[in-house]
Amino acid sequence: MDEAIVEEDRQRRTTTISSGDNFGSAKGFGMRIPKRFKLYGQTIEVVDKLEEPSENTDRIAFASYRMNQIQMRPRNTFTYERKPDQIGHAFCHELVRFLFYNAAVKDGDKWLHRDEDVVDRVAGLLH
């Protein structure tokens, strides 16, 4: 395989949001958040914009299944300061939503990607 292709693929897979991006602080995150990842053969992008779907103005992140995005609120737009751990947990929360949504996991009549308690517990295990 061509070495340039291998290197480009390695860089693409290891591209993460670091302390220089809008999500981080000067000290960085407690965890590294990817800019994109693959799930069920689809590319899910992590973007630093939040198209607010509700009145919740302090929402940190939102899973947009239609756009294949996890939208993260830029750090400088919070009503009050968020700690890196809170931002990392919010990313994990939306990641779990995507996992459950794409796996079409149900508990009885309830879709698990809509069950805040279950999503948050699993996100806490990942974080």
Identify the three-state secondary structure at position 50. Answer: coil
Confidence of residue 110 (pLDDT cuts 50, 70, 90): confident
Confidence of residue 17 (pLDDT cuts 50, 70, 90): very low
Give the Cα separation of 11 and 5 in Å (integer). Answer: 10
More confident residue, 87 or 17: 87
pTM of the full structure: 0.70
Quote the number of domains for the chain.
Answer: 1
Mean pLDDT of 51-70: 79
Average pLDDT score, the chain: 75
Give the Cα separation of 102 and 3 in Å (integer). Answer: 34
For residue 73, what are the domain limits?
Answer: 3-126
